[in-house]
Each structure stands twice: as C-alpha cells, then as structure tokens.
Amino acid sequence: MKFIPLFKVHDMRKALYHYTEILDFEVTCLDDNEHSLVVDIGHGGMEMQLTTIENDRLYGSVVYVFVDDVDTLFKKFLDRGLDISTKSDSPVHLAPINQTWGRREFYVTDDDGNTLRYCQYIT
C-alpha cells in the first residue's frame, strides 16, 4: 500500500516554484509542467500530487514529513527564500520547536493552505 497526498492549488506555476525551488521536490512525470491540471512531484521516497481541478472545498491538506535534521532543513529553506513573515502568529512556522509529544517540528504552508509538517523524533 502507498499513501500519496493530493494538494489542491490555485496557481500551478507558483506551487511548482514553492515545492521544487524551495522545498527540494522534483517533478516526477516528464510530461507534467505548469500548465498541467495534475502534477506528480516527489522527494526521496515521498510522492505527492498537485492539482487545480478538484472540488473547491479541498484546500488545506496536511502531511507529516519525517526527516533526520529539522534545523538544518529549515535553514536551507530560509536561505532559498521561504517566507515566514505571513505566519508571525505561529511559532512552529517561524522555527523548529520541541513539541510536548516528543517531536521537533516546523511547518511550511503554501499559498493554498496546504501544510507540510517537517519533524524528527527527540531522542
């Protein structure tokens, strides 16, 4: 069994820039581009799809992404232009934090309300 999340986006061009230029994803289907209605992207063993054709109420998906080092990854994303200014009221969007449930996490939310929650277990 495989789990592949589907994120609804308004603007495929902006979404592709966000996921591929800032967050390390790659387009995995050679025929997909900014004009495609559905684009397959991946990173490492992860796969997901972006779409502009689903029901309007589909906005706002959340996916947890387990990584080895959230601090290094967060810095890399900031260096690439990740804009955290729109989330000044959300500490977990501004920097990695230790959660009470035993994970260190930071969140990245795209313009369409889809959130990747990057996390690692605290040992």
Quick check: is 107 in a domain?
yes
**pLDDT tens sequence across 75-93:** 999 999 999 999 999 999 9
| Domain membership of residue 65 as a residue range | 6-121
The total number of structural domains in the chain stands at 1
Q: Return d(Cα 67, Cα 71) in angstroms, integer.
A: 10
Quick check: is 1 in a domain?
no
Q: Give the number of other Cβ atoms within 10 Å of residue 16's Cβ.
A: 20
Quick check: is 54 in a domain?
yes
Distances, alpha carbon 38 to alpha carbons 13, 19, 29, 76, 101, in Å:
12, 14, 10, 27, 35
Mean pLDDT over the full length of the chain: 91
What pLDDT band is residue 15 in, cutting at 50, 70 and 90?
A: very high
| Res. 1: pLDDT tops 60 | no
CATH number at residue 16: 3.10.180.10
Residue 23 neighbours by CB under 8 Å, 6+ apart: 43, 77, 108, 116
Q: Residue 62's pLDDT is what?
A: 85
Q: Model pTM?
A: 0.77
